A and B are shown apart, each in its own frame.
Chain A
Amino acid sequence: MFRYRDGDVRAFELLVTRHRKAVYNFIVRFVRDPAQAEDVLQETFLRIVKSADAYEKQAKFTTWMYTIARNLCVDASRRGKHRKAASLDAPVNGEADAPALIERVADAGATVDRQAIGRQMAERMQQAIAELPDEQREIFLLREVNDLQFNEIAEIVGCPENTVKSRMRYALEKLREALEEYRDLAQAAP
């Protein structure tokens, strides 16, 4: 980031290449709309370009970047509060015969039954994550999807670390409850 601030455009290209996928995953799980996620992703990096002169070495670049992305996601979530979120099960890009997002990662070694059970469990988990409150969901996503530490998450969302851990426990508890019903099926599956 410092290289780009000093005028090295190649450094910015490297930043985009390195962080684009992780930021997109956070955004798309947060706003639950792939099209809106792309806009937010674009806006996130544009904000980074505009704010490059003001960037100081006060925190990790990822923390700064996820702070921008998270704020944009909160704004987008507020704007699309009443808008129906796109399902991860919907065909990608609106094509009828295209696979769903959830099918992009397939367990090649799993049997059909396990794939079916796993598919149902994933759907349920996605539904449970989507039903989490925003303050719990963002912490859960940042921790699970983007693998940020709790202190970094606390810095991003602007609350104490203990609050972050507390919210994380609440989110895990709800997800555990959603997962209970599939535990027997998963154990019974070959």
Chain B
Amino acid sequence: MTHVEQQSACERLLDFAYGELDEAEAQKFRAHLEECGKCRAELASIERVRGAVKVALPALEPPASTSGALHAQLLHAAAQRRPAPRGKLLVFARKVMQHPAYAAAAMFLLVGGAVGIEWSRGRLLMPEHQLAQSVESAQPAEAKPATPEVPTPPKEAENRPTAASDPLVGSAPMQAAVPAAEPPVGGTAQSARGTEGGGYLEKATRKGDVAESDKKSSTRYYLGAQGNGLPMEVKPTPARHAAAHRASARYDRGGGDGLGGLPSMDDGRAQSAPFATAPAAAPAPPPAPSTRPSSVDGLMDSSEGKAEKTQLAQPRERREAKDANSAVAVPRAAVATKSPTPDSLRKRAVEAANANRCDEAVRLFDELERDHPRYHISARDRAGYVRCLRQSGREQQALDELNSIAPTTDHAAKNHAPPPAQRSAAPAEPQAASEAEPAQSKKKSGKKAAEPAKTSAPSY
């Protein structure tokens, strides 16, 4: 055995003395002990000390007088301890359940978060008016019937007086003049729009739902663009029915479908109630000149649809307060800021006249003249107006219009510079006038107007 090996073997003396070597290593060390006297002497010394220590340090028993009490205290403390639940989620849940404040805070966060999410998604707001959306999209032949899923309106609407719910009625004397009548239930969708009131009231019924709606004794009127654009369910009191029919009849007189000649209402689904079927047959006074802008048709413009959206984006309480306070004032304000441009009115009127929708054309021309008296209407457009007046049986008014064509044209030539399109069409303008009143038109329109009249034939 080398010196190094012997030295490493001597270092294992302590392990051998305390029995920490396994059997093989212990056997090796015993072999080393036979050779190493130093390790033998030291091992003997350690064994003597350990023997003496066993005598000097006997195993002591804890004092019996206190061990019982200590033992009881320890067991009590051990019993007080509860095993910790496993998992962080369980620990958190236990903390929450053990403290009422935590539970209340958690409930508040839960409910508040849910309400906040719903509010941010806009689900707490009442839905937008579907008709307004359809008109805004300006897709023809898509007059959507009113869907029955429209949520129930606030109760303030039910308690609202009839005049308030119908801004078209206008003044109270007019209400009194019109007798109460049941609304017509025929047709697919009936729309009524008030020109003077600056709004429209739409009553939507379905063919198959007539009997059902009668059973429920409830009719839904949709307060459209003149108000807040929210659907409103109104109980069918006789006064309300009468108001609805007054509005319907008025617009039927004026133009037909009540949508101002919009192509979306020209299809078979959306037709205005026939004028003859309107029960409100009382002679309505001519449209009184109103100080407020009353062309409701312009509300269907895209820009106004955006404005309506903006109005819908207001908090619900504010909109309800507006409804409750004044159902008329809101449409007025809305219309006052959203009156259609005279150009749009003129274009629609001309389109209606060209399409032989004479009632609508007359209504629009009347509206244009009333709201924009200084606006120049070309003689050609005015000829269409005259034709429609004659077809409507208003001969006297047609005659007056014919008389006014020539001065208007002169005035336009002097003060207004008509657009190039109108200038190019100017030679054809006096056609209708020359045909209707040849003598007068020759006097007033001059040579330029008289020459084309020889080549063109009257269309009416």
Whether chains A and B associate is: yes
| A interface with B by C-beta (< 8 Å) | 4-7, 9, 12-13, 16, 20-21, 24-25, 28-29, 34, 38, 41-42, 45-46, 49-50, 52-53, 92-93, 101-102, 104-105, 107, 118, 121-126, 129, 143-145, 149-150, 165, 168-169, 172, 175-176, 179, 182-183
Q: Given A24-B60, A165-B14, A179-B52, is A16 in contact with B79 using a C-beta cutoff of 8 Å?
A: no
Instruction: Choose one: A25, A49, A176; the contact of B45 (CB below 8 Å).
Output: A176
Q: Is the CB of B56 within 8 A of A121?
A: yes
B317 within 8 A of A: no
Q: Is the CB of A16 within 8 A of B82?
A: no
Q: Is the CB of A41 within 8 A of B70?
A: yes
Q: Given A6-B83, A12-B78, is A38 in contact with B62 using a C-beta cutoff of 8 Å?
A: yes
CB proximity of B98 to chain A, nearest CB, Å: 17
- What separation, in Å, do the CA atoms of A52 and B82 have in the docked complex? 10
Most chain A beta carbons < 10 A, residue from B50, B56, B61, B65: B56
Chain A residue with minimal CB distance to B65?
Answer: A93
Instruction: Tally A-B pairs: CB < 8 A.
Output: 114
Q: Is the CB of A143 within 8 A of B18?
A: yes
Q: Is the CB of A125 within 8 A of B75?
A: no
List which B216-261 residues lie within 8 A (CB) of chain A. Answer: none
Q: Is the CB of B52 within 8 A of A125?
A: yes
Q: Which 4 A-B pairs give the minimum distances between C-beta atoms?
A: A105-B58, A125-B56, A122-B56, A7-B83
Chain B neighbourhood of A21, CB < 8 A: 59-62
B27 within 8 A of A: no
Q: Is the CB of B52 within 8 A of A49?
A: no
Q: Is the CB of A144 within 8 A of B50?
A: yes
B55 within 8 A of A: yes
Chain B neighbourhood of A107, CB < 8 A: 55
- What separation, in Å, do the CA atoms of A118 and B77 have in the docked complex? 43
Q: Is the CB of B74 within 8 A of A126?
A: no
List which B53-96 residues lie within 8 A (CB) of chain A. Answer: 53, 55-63, 65-67, 70-71, 73-75, 77-79, 81-84
What are 19 A-B contacts defined by CB distance under 8 Å?
A16-B71, A16-B74, A20-B71, A21-B59, A24-B62, A41-B62, A41-B70, A42-B74, A49-B81, A52-B81, A53-B83, A105-B58, A125-B56, A149-B18, A150-B20, A172-B45, A172-B46, A176-B46, A183-B48
- What separation, in Å, do the CA atoms of A25 and B60 have in the docked complex? 6
B15 within 8 A of A: yes
Q: Is the CB of B62 within 8 A of A20?
A: yes
Q: Is the CB of B58 within 8 A of A102?
A: yes
Chain B neighbourhood of A150, CB < 8 A: 14-15, 18, 20
Q: Given A24-B62, A41-B70, is A13 in contact with B75 using a C-beta cutoff of 8 Å?
A: yes
B313 within 8 A of A: no
Chain B neighbourhood of A179, CB < 8 A: 48-49, 52
